[in-house]
Amino acid sequence: MIKPFDKPIYVTKPFLPPLEEFQRGLAEIWERAWLTNNGPIVEKFRAEMAEFCETENLCLFANGTLALQIALQGMGITGDVITTPYTFVATVHSLFWNKVRPVFVDIEPEHYTLDPKQVKTAITPWTSAILGVHVYGHPCRLEELERIARGHNLKLLYDAAHAFGVRVNGRPIGQFGDLSMFSFHATKLFHSVEGGMLTFGDARLRRLFDYLKNFGFENEVEVVMPGTNAKMNELQALMGRLVLKGMGEIVAKRRQLAEAYRWALKSVPGIRTAALPAPGVEYNHAFFPIEVDEKEFGASRDDLYNGLKEWNVFARRYFFPLVTDFACYRGMVREDELPVARSVASRIIALPIFSDLALDDVVRICEIIRHIQERRRLRPAGTTVGIANVAVAPA
Ligand code: T4K
């Protein structure tokens, strides 16, 4: 008998440092009464990040979306930008907020990142940049994109919201391309409650981004450009510093969970587990997506997604619908375009993965998946299947 979980198991759960450590930090903040505007904790966090990312060329922000908007603005990106429809909607919104037109091209089926061949054919005289997304933390085809960008004099930007801690051939992922944006949102493996970061190759950008995130202030009486407010605050930085200390533990635990999922799902027909990282990639296990082949599995992705909820498991269909299917972007591509992205979006489901999840929980989630499959075999689509209808379900 497979019992539902007592408490909801969500797709993710933030890693939290020991409460006493956070409280100690809070007490210091109280004492100082300095809450934001480039306080001392933000400064320390910046220095620690510089060490972690192996670069001084970085800026911290209130969140990843503002960071990306400022990056596009600061780098003067205009015209058309080639990007992916297979991402969180903030990637594309950031282009829109800069009055830049997204040109969507298809992804490759293994790691779901931009297909360089498609990128190449989409370049026109109006193209100013390529914006790749290291979706689920899997690096884009870095070398190929670099070659294309340099060959056509385009800027190469990465939305690395999912890729914090990833390294490629020994180099931190943020050192590829002209610029990378990281999200430190609570749902990410590394977080500062909310937060974001840009890393970039051109050292001059740091000053520019610092102006742009603080209203363009040079000093009390001078504003040198029309900036916005996108500063990280002291409480965010405090959380970030404490979570950063746990990075090794966070990734190690996720690796273990991912291996357990792979092991437990390898014999389930119709489930394709996440592709292994490419050679040379030190992966962060940010997500654990699986693809459901409806014919082979015997139930659809949505049957599985809804079925899991009956056992208190709240997986997510990241990234469905495709950005190009949202009302605000619909009509920008034809229905016969982006076949790979469409197909993946219709089959994908991200299973829970986070530090607090036990290996036994993973085994139980996989048993539930097998059970949902079996149940659908006994009661084919079209019949009402409730948790009470099956022998192995709880009373
Ligand atoms: N680019 C990409 C590729 C991104 O994925 C994102 C963000 C961005 C850009 C923008 O970066 P930020 O501006 O956010 O820094 C979530 C996050 O809000 C979003 O940050 C993230 N991507 C996206 C993939 O996921 P939702 O709407 O799915 O989140 P929500 O509230 O439904 O949370 C998901 C699950 O996490 C919940 O079911 C429970 C759990 N959860 C959530 C929160 C907020 C917790 O356990 N604790 C929490 O505090 O967007």
Distance 12 CA to ligand 1 centre (A): 9
* CA 378 centroid distance within chain: 37
Least confident of 12-16, 275-279, 316-320: 275-279
- Going by the DSSP 8-state scheme, the letter that residue 157 receives in this structure is E
pLDDT tens, 63-72?
Answer: 999 999 999 9
* Contact 63 CB / ligand 1 (< 6 Å): yes
Phi/psi of residue 6, nearest 5 degrees: -65, -40
Distance 121 CA to ligand 1 centre (A): 33
pLDDT band at residue 379 using 50, 70 and 90 as cut-offs = confident
Find out whether the beta carbon of 88 lies less than 6 Å from any atom of ligand 1: yes
| Residue of 94, 185, 239, 308 best suited for mutating to test ligand 1, as the one with most atoms within 8 Å of CB | 185
The answer, yes or no, to whether residue 178 has pLDDT greater than 90, is yes
Beta partners for 348?
Answer: 291
For the residues 176-197, what does the mean pLDDT come to?
Answer: 98
Q: How far is the CA of 111 from the centre of ligand 1 (A)?
A: 20
pLDDT in tens, 149-166: 999 999 999 999 999 999
DSSP state, residue 182:
E
Give the Cα separation of 217 and 224 in Å (integer).
Answer: 6
Is pLDDT above 60 for 388?
Answer: no
- Ligand 1 site, residue 355, Cβ cutoff 6 A: no
- For the stretch 196-252, pLDDT in tens is 999 999 999 999 999 999 999 999 999 999 999 999 999 999 999 999 999 999 999
143 CA distance to ligand 1 centroid (A)?
29
Read off φ and ψ for residue 77, nearest 5 degrees.
Answer: -75, 125
- Ligand 1 atom 12: the closest Cα is on which residue? 64
Enumerate long-range contacts of 375-384, CB under 8 Å, 24 or more apart: 375/307, 376/298, 376/299, 376/303, 377/298, 381/299, 381/300, 381/303
Task: Output the CA–CA distances (angstroms, integers) from residue 72 to 67, 91, 94, 181, 214, in the order listed.
Answer: 9, 11, 8, 11, 16
- For 214, the token pair is 């603080």
Per-residue pLDDT at 390? 40
Which residue has the least CA distance to atom 29 on ligand 1? 187
What's the CA-to-centroid distance between 71 and ligand 1, angstroms? Answer: 21
Residue nearest to atom 38 of ligand 1 (CA): 10
Q: Is the pLDDT of residue 121 over 60?
A: yes
Q: Write down the pLDDT at residue 381.
A: 66
pTM for the whole structure: 0.95
- Residue 369 confidence class, pLDDT cut points 50, 70, 90: very high
Check residue 103 and give its pLDDT.
98
pLDDT > 70: what percent of the chain? Answer: 96
Distance CA 91, CA 324 (A): 12
Residue 146 CA, chain-centre distance (Å), reads 21
As beta bridge partners, residue 181 has: 159, 198
Instruction: Kindly state if the Cβ of 11 falls inside 6 Å of ligand 1.
Output: yes
Instruction: Compute, in angstroms, the gap from residue 11 CA to the centroid of ligand 1.
Output: 10
- Please determine, for residue 114, whether its predicted confidence score (pLDDT) is greater than 60: yes
Token representation of residue 341: 């992205």
pLDDT at 34: 98
Q: Quick check: 89 pLDDT over 70?
A: yes
Please name the residue whose Cα sits nearest to atom 24 of ligand 1: 88
CA of 186 to the centre of ligand 1 (A): 7
**Res. 301: pLDDT tops 60:** yes
**Distance of alpha carbon 164 from alpha carbon 38, whole angstroms:** 22
Under the banding of pLDDT at 50, 70 and 90, the label for residue 378 is confident
What pLDDT is attached to residue 386?
46
The predicted pLDDT at position 392 comes to: 41
Q: Is the CB of 284 under 6 A from ligand 1?
A: no
CB distance 236 to ligand 1 below 6 Å: no
Residue nearest to atom 8 of ligand 1 (CA): 90
CA of 394 to the centre of ligand 1 (A): 32
Cα–ligand 1 centroid distance for 281 (angstroms): 24
Query: What is the pLDDT of the chain when averaged over all its residues?
Result: 95
Mean pLDDT of 251-276: 95
pLDDT at 393: 42
Would you say residue 85 has pLDDT above 80?
yes
Please name the residue whose Cα sits nearest to atom 5 of ligand 1.
Answer: 88
pLDDT interval class at 311 (50, 70, 90): very high
Q: Does residue 321 register a pLDDT over 70?
A: yes
| 142, pLDDT greater than 60 | yes
Q: Residue 14: CB within 6 Å of ligand 1?
A: yes
CA of 183 to the centre of ligand 1 (A): 10
Q: In the chain, at which residue ranges do the beta strands (DSSP E only) sit?
A: 9-10, 58-61, 80-83, 101-104, 127-133, 155-159, 167-168, 171-172, 179-183, 196-200, 217-219, 222-223, 271-273, 281-282, 288-292, 313-314, 348-351
Q: What are the tens digits of pLDDT across the range 9-63?
A: 999 999 999 999 999 999 999 999 999 999 999 999 999 999 999 999 999 999 9
CA distance 265 to 259: 10
